[in-house]
Homo-oligomer: A and B are copies of this chain.
């Protein structure tokens, strides 16, 4: 069993209105000194394998087919 954490974030330069809203909301709550906020997604997957190479390749394939929109998003995979 391998736990894979996949983090999907918007590519640099892609407009992130949700992040902007969060930045504004944090400023409204009194948190000043925030010069940027971007929101992304995290997926925690339990993979029934003990082969790290296979787990990494599978997670990358899952990102490219379903979890990430490769036009506007990047992903990283961490195994543990």
Contact = CB atoms under 8 A, between A and B. Distances in A.
A48 interface: yes
Copies in the complex: 2
A70 interface: no
A39 B44 CA distance: 6
Contact of A67 (B22, B38, B65): B22
Contacts of A65: 29
Nearest to A16: B44
A34 B9 contact: no
Nearest to A40: B42
Contacts of A58: 31, 33
A46 B26 contact: no
A57 to B, nearest CB: 11
